[in-house]
Amino acid sequence: MDTAGGFLPIIAALPFLGALLPGLMIQAGRNTCTAFTAAPTILALVLLMICAPAVMRGEVLLFRLDWLPGLGLNVNFMLDGLGLLFAGLILGIGLLIILYARFYLSREDPMGQFYAYLLLFQGAMVGIVLSDNILLLLIFWELTSLSSFLLIGYWKHLPEGRQGARMALTVTGMGGLAMIAGMLILGQIAGSYDLNVILTQKDAIQASPMYLPALLLILAGCFTKSAQFPFHFWLPHAMAAPTPVSAYLHSATMVKAGLFLMARMWPVLSGTPEWFYIVATTGLITMVIGAKIALFKDDLKALLAFSTVSHLGLITMLLGFGTKMAAVAAVFHIINHATFKAALFMTAGIVDHEAHSRDIKRLGGLRRLMPVTFGIATIAALSMAGVIPLNGFLSKEMMLEEASHTVWWGNPWLVPALAALGALFSVAYSLRYIVHVFLGPVRDDYPAHPHDPGFGMWAAPAFLVVLVVVIGIAPFLAEPLVKVTAGAVTGGRLPDFHLKIWHGLTPALYMSGAALLGGAILLALHAPLMRFWLATPRPEAKVMFDAVADAATRASAALTDGVHNGALTRNAAVLSVFVLVAGWLAWSGGSALPPTREALPVTALPAIGWLLLVLATISLVAFHRNRFLALVLMGIVGLMVSLGFVYFSAPDLALTQISVEVVTIILLLLALNFLPRTTPAESSPARRMRDAVIAVTGGVAVTGLTYAILIRDFTFESISAYHLANSYKGGGGTNVVNVILVDFRGFDTYGEIIVLGIAALVIYALTETVLKGSGGRWLANWDRNARPEAGDRHPLMMVVATRMMMPIALMVGAYIFLRGHNEPGGGFIAGLIVAIAFLMQYMASGFAWAEARQRVTYHATIGVGVLVASVTGIGAWLADRPFLTSDYGYLHFPPIEEFEWATAIAFDIGVFLTVVGAVMLALNSLSNMARRTGETVNVFPMDINPARVTAENQDEGGK
């Protein structure tokens, strides 16, 4: 990495960091806000200028930082001639736009927000032109779409602003998605995602059968971003943005991103017939169509917008020619177009700002009222028309020269004729901008009295037109930059050339003269041509876009409503069928290995257990509408699964399963008090038959796949061997399951307890919401006398037994917790056991009695638990180890024997607290619902209906 290359990430980061400042500094005033907005741009420009001498000597500055090397995503930046030119335009014109916007925006406009958006956009563009990794470039590419959406829709109160922002985001976003696919293909062909590698693989890329798909997808991104036909329609609608945004988008950013990428990929994608016919033809059509439409636009910004479309087509056409001199002409016109187009948009903004109108029909005669603006606009417009001796003339001559030598499909005159026609229209609309806006008599019906603004508003466009004149008169000053940039585009030696005004009597000169004369004639005939234009039926791009967008919205809504209609059974059926079909295709498309081992003999005990499990499952399916019976059957299924874990020597899993079953069943019993006795039959017999077929098919498929795996040996080694070998020496525990949970896979456990806590909080939020709405009124008016209760709600024996068992249960929980690192147990199981002990108190003595003795807040318990687990995990970083890596050691306190300690116990404490808090918060939420009804709901109802509660059978514990 070159020393100066270290500046590249700083240059790319400065606009993003600077975006944090305007929103804060606007409180100190508009000037202060502008100064702090300009500061990061100035600093980035200074650093770029420090790098410039090395680039001008032909060096390529690189910065490399591996980020995700396994995916090929590295933070690599590169600065060559092409990057230097575009970064200079982005930052330089961006600085002028910041100055211009200070005086353009009114006091009602939130300037801090505008500048923040502008710097975000600037940073995204700088990132594109400096990226040396195509995946990184894609990230910045999509950021330009998002940030330009914010800028175009800045005036949120204008419907056209919102429409233009949506249109720009839709078109460029879809093109960006296509380009992502193309770039991934290109990276696969080249064997790298780094641009400096890809640019050396021309032969491999063009010889690949995937060259054409990659080319089409990448060009889709370039054409949509640079508003090439037929995607040109979005750019004029983006004119609803404030003029500083329009000037920036059209001169140095956004639309130039597509041109940049075509120029960047020129060394490896150009030189083929596909490149020539796609790129050159698209550019030529865009140039002519854009220029023709611009001539008949009455809105100043619309005229300039379509002129931008035309000039973007001109540059695209030059890049499509595929010759080195065409690339030189394209680079030179990028520079010239940026100078005169930014100046023109700023003058259009000045006219709109002072005259309160952009409608050409309401203007005219401004030369006398706004002489400074007139001078700036005239020079810039004449340059756009290609009038000697301005810089636009030089690059237009080079374009016509290259077009005169281009043969399209065997035809030597088609490209020169259409190029000259585009130049002719360009002259016409440029002259119209001058004549119809500034010349003619002074009117007395302007919307506002026009006058030149202060220096702050016209200083930026004045500086740009100075460059227009200087480059036109002394083009040798720009020649070194053009050469180093064109050399970076072509990737090789350039033909010997010199930028100069006079090239002799060439075909390009005659074509240019014809364009000037024809443009003047077109302007003279503008009125009748305008009537003919208005009378001619023509497709409106906005109407077509709206129609397509509406059709797509309706189609997506129909598809969404048809698939996601709120029926869980349909979603489950679609997913299950898809999985079954995919599994069948995978199985039938390959060859299975033959069985390598016999199945173990089935003894009586597991057979009985399996039979009970199957019977309970079938019964659950058959009687699922009876909620209480279904819950009992679910408990049986869970119990049989627990016994299965015991049979297979998995005590940790068995303890967890049993504890979870007890807690779940109790909480669901409480919830059943607020539900109807039976589940309504919502499915028809035919649908139930369909679901049965899908379920049975899925069960048979999974059973068959499981059996096929069990009777075969595979070459891969299970990770269990690693865990068994490293449980003690890596985690300090002999209970492999617990060490996995708190160390090897501690992050999974950490995520699970967070999810558990969130679930409890959601239950709490839902119940509180229900109680405050119509649900609360329904519970308060519940007919409690209509249904019988299940006898004594607080049996004396149960009250005595649970209070005697409470300390024992807590001791068992502590024991299970402490032994968990080396024996079956741990924080999760201990938390469930303690939660069950608390649950029993609620069941026996009632919610009011138990909560009156509650000393902790369950919300806080969850929070403390997650916090303890987090701090434990972060502590590993202090030892330079991965998050949640545990440590252990041995302590000896006489007369106590030496014992082991491990940091995992702190993490287990966090798990314990979260589990207890989550379970009890869920219980507390259900109890609140019960107490709001004016009763204490029976935990074990005779049926699932609410029990009748009278004053006579309420005891002290239930009040």
- Where residue 944 falls among pLDDT bands split at 50, 70, 90? very low
**Cβ atoms 248, 202 nearer than 8 A:** no
- From the centroid of its chain, how far is CA 467? 39
Query: pLDDT tens for residues 95-129?
Result: 999 999 999 998 888 999 999 999 999 999 999 99
Indicate if 747 and 633 belong to the same structural domain.
no
Question: 315 in a domain, yes or no?
Answer: yes
Query: What confidence score (pLDDT) does residue 240 get?
Result: 85
Between 778 and 386, residue with greater pLDDT: 386
* The pLDDT of residue 395: 92
Residue 648 has pLDDT above 50, yes or no: yes
Whether residue 748 is contained in a domain is answered as yes
Structure tokens of 802? 């649970």
How far is residue 743 CA from its own chain's centroid?
Answer: 33
Find, among 568, 571, 343, 555, the residue nearest to 457 by Cα. Answer: 343
Q: Hey, what are 260's tokens?
A: 């940049």
Residue 663 within any structural domain of the chain: yes
Domain span at 333: 270-485
Can you give the pLDDT at residue 728? 79
pTM assigned to the model:
0.71
pLDDT at 780 over 70: no
Tokens of 187: 């990276």
The CA distance from 461 to 417, in Å, is: 34
DSSP-based three-state secondary structure for 66: strand
Q: Tell me, yes or no, whether 890 and 769 share the same domain.
A: yes
Which pLDDT score, from 0 to 100, does residue 778 have?
Answer: 62
Q: How confident is the model at residue 502 (pLDDT cuts 50, 70, 90)?
A: confident
Long-range pairs, 413-422, Cβ under 8 A, ≥24: 415/280, 415/284, 416/507, 416/511, 418/284, 418/287, 418/288, 419/284, 419/287, 419/317, 419/511, 420/511, 420/514, 420/515, 421/288, 422/284, 422/287, 422/288, 422/291, 422/310, 422/313, 422/314
d(CA 911, CA 750): 8
Q: What is the rounded distance in angstroms from the CA atom of residue 928 to the CA atom of residue 765? A: 12
Mean pLDDT score, 494-505: 83
Q: How far is CA 838 from CA 792, 808, 908, in A?
A: 20, 12, 20
pLDDT category at 511 given cuts 50, 70, 90 is very high
The token pair at 552 is 């797509």
Q: What is the CA radius of gyration of the chain?
A: 38
Same domain, 632 and 746: no
Give rounded-to-5 percent helix, strand, coil for the chain.
70, 5, 25
The pLDDT score that the predictor gives to residue 949 is: 35
pLDDT of 782: 55
Residues 868 and 749 in one domain: yes
Residue among 255, 246, 242 nearest 172 (CA): 255
Q: Alpha-carbon dihedral of residues 863, 867, 870, 874, nearest 10 degrees? A: 160
Alpha helix (H) residue ranges in 64-201: 81-104, 111-130, 134-152, 159-190, 195-198
| Whether residue 310 is found in the same domain as residue 456 | yes
User: Contact, 869 vs 877, CB < 8 A?
Assistant: no
Residue 933 pLDDT greater than 60, yes or no: no
Any domain includes 725:
no
Residue 955 banded pLDDT, cuts 50, 70, 90: very low
Residues 749 and 608 in one domain: no
**Are residues 328 and 415 located together in one domain of the fold?**
yes
Q: Which tokens is 67 given? A: 């980020």
Q: Is residue 624 domain-shared with residue 757, that is, in the same domain?
A: no
Q: Are 288 and 421 in contact (CB under 8 A)?
A: yes
Residue-averaged pLDDT of the chain: 86
Provide the pLDDT confidence category of residue 892 given band limits of 50, 70 and 90.
low
Residue 855 is assigned to a structural domain of this protein: yes
Q: Which of 830, 804, 822, 808 is nearest to 912 (CA)?
A: 830
The yes-or-no verdict on residue 948 having pLDDT over 50 is no
CB 806 within 8 A of CB 813: no
Q: What is the pLDDT of residue 935?
A: 45
Tokens representing residue 921 in the block: 């918060």
pLDDT classification of 273: cutoffs 50, 70, 90: very high
Domain boundary among 458, 485, 512: 485
**Is residue 79 within a helix (H) or strand (E), and if so which, with residue range?**
strand 77-79
- Reading the block at residue 799, the tokens are 């009250």
Neighbours of 583 (CB within 10 A): 14
CA distance 774 to 742: 44
What is the DSSP track for 334-373?
Answer: HHHHHHHHHHHHHHHHHHHHHHS--BGGG---HHHH-HHH
**Structure confidence at residue 503 (pLDDT):** 75
Upstream peptide bond of 230 is cis (omega within 30 degrees of 0): yes
638 against 899, higher pLDDT: 638
Among residues 646, 665, 680, the one where a domain terminates is: 680
**Residue 676 and residue 738 share a domain:** no
Assess whether 775 and 924 both reside in one domain. Answer: yes
What tokens does 753 get?
A: 């307890």
C-alpha to C-alpha distance for 62 and 43, rounded to whole angstroms: 20
Question: Rounded CA gap, 117 and 329, in Å?
Answer: 33
Q: Are 672 and 787 part of one and the same domain?
A: no
From the list 291, 473, 459, 465, the residue with the least C-alpha distance to 393 is 473
Together in a domain, 663 and 796? no
Q: Tokens in use for 84? A: 């230097």
E strand or H helix at 224, and its extent?
Answer: helix 211-225
**Residue 644 CB neighbour total at 10 angstroms:** 17
Q: What's the CA gap between 525 and 401, in Å, rounded?
A: 29
Dist. CA 928–CA 771, nearest whole Å: 9
Helices assigned H by DSSP within 191-210: 195-198, 202-207
Report d(CA 917, CA 868) in Å as an integer: 13
Average the pLDDT over 397-422 and give the result. Answer: 92
In a domain, 43, yes or no: no
Quote the pLDDT of residue 653: 86
Give the position of tokens 């005229």: 303
Contact 914, 757 (CB under 8 A): yes
Task: Answer whether residue 726 is part of any domain.
Answer: no
Asked, for residue 116, whether it belongs to a domain, the answer is no
DSSP alpha helix (H) spans, 439-539: 455-473, 479-490, 507-524, 526-535
**Token pair belonging to 526:** 């503008």
Number of independent structural domains in the chain: 3
Q: Which of 616, 647, 680 is the last residue of a domain?
A: 680
**Does the structure show a pLDDT above 50 at 790?**
no
